[in-house]
Amino acid sequence: MISVSEALAAVLDLGAPVEVEHVPLDQADGRVLAQDVAATRDQPPFSASAMDGYAVATADVTEGDRFTVIGEAAAGHRFERTIGSGEAVRIFTGAPLPGGGVRVIIQEDVTREDDAITVGGKLGAGHHVRPAGGDFKAGDVLSAPRRLSPSDVALLASMNVPFVPVRRHPVVAIIATGDELVSAGGTPRDDQIIASNSLGLAAMFRRAGATARVLPIAKDTPSSLKMDLSLAEGADLLVTIGGASVGDHDIVAEVAESMGLERQFYKVAMRPGKPLMAGWIGGMAMIGLPGNPVSSMVCGEVFIRPLLDKYLGLPSGPRARIELPLTEPLEANSQREHYMRAVVENGTVRAFARQDSSLLTVLAQANALIVRPPGDPARNVGEPVQVIAL
């Protein structure tokens, strides 16, 4: 058996950043920026008023000062002349500050009669001017790699970047294997169950930025599995579920090897998820996950999500962990790294009592995994443990 970190290193060796494509900005949210993008202009492109009020040519304004209003500047409508001493321009939020303008007196701080304004007694100190380039300047960059957020999309718009270089979606083909499996909506025999992992993993991979292709369930026969493997062609990564152990009916490794699989390992010292396989088959990376529903989902979180980050050009490594105190004690761990289904609430964490790797009801209630190192001793209430958010 190898450790989780050795297994993860081997998994990450399978991947490399995929190609760059350009997408319209309105489709860029959640995509991974692949190249630094530079602003094509200053923002604001001109000194602008931050308030509705009056622009004047002096910073030195006191109660009783009077100005003559000589025109108006609105957002999108520059006032083309220059403000002189004793003059003011009616100005609205976002409008370019006219030439000569130094300060904006907000409208609540003046009284206006016809074309004259008089400064009142409650004048604040602010100039209410946003300097040109105060947000960013032409040439300033948004740096890659970066998973784009709605705020990033707004920023790229204001930088006038209509098309964005992002990594294309890595393509993951998913094959569930086993004579016991029937697709949801089908009618299982009394010794069969419904295939669940493939749809759960597909959803997980899509959230992480992949295109997931769920292939037909493969029977436990070489011909069925070979047909499915041929359907996977062209994917960046093939993920098989089940059949990766060493039982007589676990034929994934055998068939894949007959098709040229270079296998990297078999067993990982972790719980759930001991049987795990990784290698290459016909130029395509392949990972064989265990068939227990919770095992396959946990291995997806622990191994495949970091690999997808690598395909997307993001920093890739073990999932981020935080430390939280326990609200219920834990028994001593075995010599396998244990990923316990758990609930984080109010800054604390507790593991579910039932940790069998077949229990999807427990996984669906979990919002976190507690990571127990091999040989971790029993832990009391209040002791900190390592937690991965789901």
Residue 24 or 283 with smaller CB distance to its own copies: 24
Backbone phi, psi, residue 158, to 5°: -70, -20
Whose CA is closest to 51, among 32, 75, 67?
75
CB of 279 to its own copies, least distance (A): 22
CB of 283 to its own copies, least distance (A): 27
Distance CA 122, CA 178 (A): 79
CB of 2 to its own copies, least distance (A): 19
Distance CA 146, CA 127 (A): 36
Backbone phi, psi, residue 351, to 5°: -85, 150
Residue 50 or 280 with smaller CB distance to its own copies: 50
CB of 16 to its own copies, least distance (A): 25
How many residues are given for the chain?
390
Distance CA 7, CA 275 (A): 11
Torsion of Cα atoms, 214 then 215 then 216 then 222, to 10°: -140
Residue 205 or 311 with smaller CB distance to its own copies: 205
CB of 128 to its own copies, least distance (A): 10
CB of 72 to its own copies, least distance (A): 8
Residue 124 or 329 with smaller CB distance to its own copies: 124
Whose CA is closest to 197, among 300, 296, 306?
296
Structure tokens at 310: 């690598």
Residue 85 or 187 with smaller CB distance to its own copies: 187
How would you classify the pairing of strands 66-73 and 116-119?
antiparallel
CB of 348 to its own copies, least distance (A): 12
CB of 85 to its own copies, least distance (A): 24
Residue 179 or 328 with smaller CB distance to its own copies: 179
Residue 281 or 333 with smaller CB distance to its own copies: 333
Other Cβ atoms within 10 Å of 169 Cβ, number: 21
CA distances from 96 to 136, 140, 156, 319 (A): 17, 22, 22, 48
H helices present in the chain, as ranges: 4-12, 150-158, 197-207, 222-231, 252-258, 293-299, 305-311, 360-365
Residue 59 or 364 with smaller CB distance to its own copies: 364
Distance CA 100, CA 236 (A): 60
CB of 163 to its own copies, least distance (A): 8
Query: For residue 323, what are the β-bridge partners?
Result: 386
**Which one-letter amino acid corresponds to residue 166?**
V
Residue 188 or 375 with smaller CB distance to its own copies: 188
How would you classify the pairing of strands 368-372 and 384-389?
antiparallel
**Which one-letter amino acid corresponds to residue 84?**
G
CB of 176 to its own copies, least distance (A): 10
DSSP code, position 215: P
4 and 267 Cβ atoms separated by less than 8 Å: no
